Each structure stands twice: as structure tokens, then as C-alpha cells.
Amino acid sequence: MDLKDLKIQYLEHLEIEKNRSPKTMENYGRYLDRFLQFAKVSGPSGITEDLIRQYRLYLNRLKDSEGNPLKKVTQNYHIIALRSFLKYLAKRDIKSVSAEKVELGKQEEREVTFLETDELERLLKSPKGDSLDVLRDRAILGTLFSTGMRVSELCSLDRDKIDTTRGELSIRGKGSKIRVVFLSDEAKGNINKYLDKRSDIDEALFIRIPKTNIFSKNSNLRLTPRSIQRIVEKHATKAGIVGKNVSPHTLRHSYATDLLRNGADIRSVQSMLGHSSVTTTQIYTHVTDKQLREIHKKFHNKNR
């Protein structure tokens, strides 16, 4: 069977049986296309261990349009997609190289950017005034930090699903997994003030606000992740935060760091972040380890 046809069937399998998001299928499709263009083999039996080794060398030496090499994590995304495709072939009893023989490369540790307490305070207080866009921005920043949501999860929120009395809501995260997140009292108050001032009928919680404040009945007002990114960047600049690229994900990092620094156990933080593996959550332990070193240096053996 032709590999291109098998790739299409595999992506359909991800969509139907695995219920993967359109974005995941788009990424996997792109990664597999790169492999097929490199491999130049027509059938699954043409995929060998040596071919995959050559492909990994190709990825490692590949440069983008600006002459930068692919990051190790990006190289691994390509290999993860290929491994998943090989597992699918094995499940259908189609002969090819075993997925178990394809190992991921060791990748560099992820750098975690988070805000210190004073920076966080300045950022959350940056939106000043009581106009609708200011109230919206204050609610966005407060919700991101209070819940640790991903920006895509924040954009998907509908206002009729928000219960500011209970202060908790169920959100659908990566892999369509549902988890509960919690709103602080301050975040609940910010959302209520923002919603009280809205006069539109759009179902989205966070929306674009026309300069005239006159809303069209038919327009889709839901904010995109890029719009949220710009809002966060704007207020980070206003708050005078320098030397850090502040994004919605920075607030997610700050949320996790805040929980761990204050004694939360890593499994609880894993659950609240919606990580499928605790290994992902462990990137934050480097931050708390640093804090422990500083405490040790300050307080240990002071009598000598």
C-alpha cells in the first residue's frame, strides 16, 4: 500500500478513533510529510532503521530560513509523529520497522519564564480605569493567573459556562481531557464587573471591543490567542517588566511556580495544569530547587 494513502488513513484514525484536535492532526501531517519527502520510499517496508537514522541526522542539520537549527524538542516532535505512525501500521499488521526501535533524542531542558511577586502585582494592576476594554483586560490577566489555563482554553470559554458564585469551572484541555480549575475571589470580582458592563449578546467570555462600543449582531467577537498575547504584552510593558518575554504562558508558569513555592505537592499541580505526565510538571521543580538552595545558604550553620 502507498505510504501517502496510509498517512491519510492514519490522520483519519487520529480524528475518529483518537479524537485528536485539528491542530494536532495538522502538525502530525506536516511532520510526516517532511519524513516522506526525505525518505522517497513508496511502501512501509522501505522504512528501515538505517533510513530513520539518516532522517534524524537530516533533522539535526536542518536550518530554518534564518539559518538556525531545529530545536531538539522540535526534532523530537517529528520523531514522535513518526513513531505514532509506525505503531498504527503495526496495529494494522502492515510490515515496517518497529516503533519500539525508534528512541527519542535527549533534549535541552525547557527554560521556564515566570514572574516574581512584585512583577506579578504590577502586571495584574496595570489595567486602570473602568472602561469595558480595561475591565476585560483586568479579567483576562486575573483569570490566567488564577487558573493557570492555556491561552487556547481561555479563548474557548463561554460566558454562560462561568459560575462566579462557586468559582470553579470545567475546561476541555489537550487531548479533550476535562479538568476543573478555580477562580480566586479577585478573579471572580473582575469577571463580574466586566460582564455587568457588556451590552452585546456574543456567547464568548472574552471578546473584541469595537472602538465605537457599538456591537454588530452578526459579528464573531471571540478573542484569538494572538489577541490575548498582544493584551498581555501591552500590560507587561506598561508594568515596566523588562528582560522577560511575558506571554499568557508566562502567567501559567507563574501560577505553577506560586503553588509549588507555597507547598503544593507536584501531583496536585500536575492535575490543575492538565499535564498527562508528571514529567512535564517537573520542569517547575528547578525553580523551587533554586529557592531551597537560597534558604539553605541563608539559614544553614549560622553558628559557625
pLDDT in tens, 171-197: 888 877 889 999 999 999 999 999 999
Is residue 252 flagged as an active site residue? Answer: yes
Q: Among the CATH numbers 3.10.105.10, 1.20.1250.20, 1.10.443.10, 1.20.1050.10, which is that of 117-296?
A: 1.10.443.10
The lowest-confidence range among 8-12, 34-38, 223-227, 300-304 is: 300-304
pLDDT, residue 107, reads 60
Is residue 174 flagged as an active site residue? Answer: yes
Residue with cell 487556547: 152
The one catalytic residue among 174, 198, 222, 238:
174
The residues, any chain, with a CB within 8 Å of residue 180's CB and separated by 6 or more, are: 168, 169, 170, 171
* Domain extents in the chain: 3-101, 117-296
pLDDT in tens, 120-161: 999 999 999 999 999 999 999 999 999 999 999 999 999 998
Burial degree of 48 (CB within 10 A; 0-12, 13-18, 19+) = middle
Is residue 55 flagged as an active site residue? Answer: no
Give, rounded to a whole angstrom, the gap between the first and last alpha carbons of the chain. 75
pLDDT of 244 strictly over 80: yes
pLDDT, residue 96, reads 92
CATH superfamily of 3-101: Tyrosine recombinase, N-terminal domain (1.10.150.130)
The continuous run of DSSP H or E covering 27 comes out as helix 22-39
The number of C-alpha atoms within 13 Å of 303 and in the hemisphere containing its C-beta is: 0
pLDDT of 288 strictly over 70: no
pLDDT, residue 282, reads 83
Is residue 88 flagged as an active site residue? Answer: no
Is residue 197 flagged as an active site residue? Answer: no
Mean pLDDT of 4-26: 90
The one catalytic residue among 83, 136, 150, 188:
150
Closest alpha carbon to 32 in 50, 57, 53, 5: 5
The three grid cell numbers given for residue 156, joined into one nine-digit string:
474557548
Cβ 157 vs Cβ 170: under 8 Å: no
The one catalytic residue among 34, 159, 198, 249:
249
Note the pTM of the prediction, 2 decimals.
Answer: 0.72
Mean pLDDT of 159-166: 90
pLDDT of 302 strictly over 70: no
pLDDT, residue 65, reads 80
